[in-house]
Amino acid sequence: MSWLDIDEHPLYRLWRYSDRWFLSDDTTILVKHNFGEVRKFLFESKDDNDFFHASEYKRKITDALYINLPNAWWENEASANNIHESLKCLAGAFFCGQTNNSAKRNLCVGSAYIIALMAHQKVYGNADIFINDPETWIACSHASSPIFALQEQETARTSAIALYDLFICLFTPRHTNQESSSGKSLVRSVCFYEAGRVLKIQLNWNAQKPSLDSPDSLAKINSKTFQQPTINMSQIAKNTRTTILNLWCQMAISESGFMSPGVVYMEADTIVIASTK
């Protein structure tokens, strides 16, 4: 582990580790742009060199995310391909937060899943609820469907951090009586739908109901905020209200116009991330 890793934001760590991922040049041996080249050593290993490359490919991704991903995710070709394509929308040489490449991409449904997984790891020290189903990625052929428009580099990074901050706030226990005070996750279930175009994260608390530390529900607090004549913004994620506002602003930014090709919302006890493309 590098000394930089100790206090570094998980997303900045990922971007630092993945700086040359997905390039097609000869210097990029493992995390290549074309999954067809990766599958040769992941699924058609012929010698010790191929087995070594397969092991190193998985290690590089695990190290960058700082999460022990299950081997089962890499044992199915469709699953491995869908993860590979989703990572292109969050890290490496084709994520618009790291490149000006003409074929650049921004956050997709699959990369939102990865960001949520990283946030859960930060809050609970594990990502079990996100990685315990070995078939999670198999049917997600459209997980790379976008939820953000293309943005310039710093804006795209800020957008990813805004989504991460929202997950941190929604996953973090509010009081000592909540289940997670004993280490149990507030996340009840995580599922992809529509071949990966939709991601739903069910929590064990409800945005329509007051919490024990507030007389108002999250829905009511949010409604009051948006009815004010002047909305006070803060780039620092101070609480759930400010993270919602920050994400709302980031999703309005587009290089080609305004607003995003996807939605992020919460309805009752479920966070929904969906692409319209």
Q: Report residue 200 as tokens.
A: 């739903």
What ranges do the domains of the chain cover? 3-275
Q: What is the mean pLDDT of residues 107-131?
A: 95
Lowest-confidence pick of 116-120, 176-180, 217-221, 262-266: 176-180
Q: At 228, phi and psi to the nearest 5?
A: -70, 145
- Higher-confidence residue: 219 or 53? 53
Per-chain mean pLDDT for the chain: 87
pLDDT of the residue at 218: 78
Q: Report residue 180 as tokens.
A: 């997670």
User: Could you give the CA distance from residue 140 to residue 271 in angstroms, rounded to a whole number?
Assistant: 18
260 vs 25, 106, 108, 148, 157, CA distance in Å? 32, 10, 11, 5, 15
Give per-residue pLDDT as tens, 147-160: 999 999 999 999 99
Give per-residue pLDDT as tens, 202-250: 999 988 888 766 777 777 777 777 777 776 766 666 788 889 999 999 9
Among 239, 243, 187, 252, which residue's Cα sits nearest to residue 213?
239
Give per-residue pLDDT as tens, 71-81: 889 999 999 99
Radius of gyration of the chain (CA): 19
181 vs 4, 102, 208, CA distance in Å? 30, 47, 22
User: Could you give the CA distance from residue 148 to residue 95 in angstroms, rounded to a whole number?
Assistant: 12
